Amino acid sequence: MYLGYAFDHGVVLVTTDRLGVIALLPPDVPEPDDRFQAEVAGLHGDRLAAVARAQTPAPPAGAWNLATLGVHPGRQGRGLGSSLVRAGLAVVDGRTPPGARVALETSDDRNVMIYERIGFVVTATTPVDTGLVVHSMLRDPGIDGSSTTG
Q: What is the pLDDT of residues 6-18, one digit of tens each?
A: 888 999 999 999 9
CB atoms within 10 A of CB 81: 20
pLDDT attached to residue 27: 93
Mean pLDDT of all residues belonging to the chain: 85
Q: What is the mean pLDDT of residues 101-121?
A: 92
CB atoms within 10 A of CB 5: 19
The verdict on residue 105 lying in a domain is yes
Could you write out the DSSP letters of every residue in 86-105?
HHHHHHHHHHSSTT--EEEE
The verdict on residue 149 lying in a domain is no
| Domain CATH for 138 | 3.40.630.30
pLDDT attached to residue 86: 94
Q: What is the mean pLDDT of residues 73-83?
A: 90
pLDDT above 50 (res 147): no
What is the number of domains present in the chain?
Answer: 1
The verdict on residue 150 lying in a domain is no
Domain that holds residue 136: 2-144
pLDDT above 50 (res 5): yes
> Percent of the chain at pLDDT above 70?
87
What value, to the nearest 5°, has the Cα angle with vertex 79 and ends 121 and 101? 30
pLDDT above 90 (res 34): no
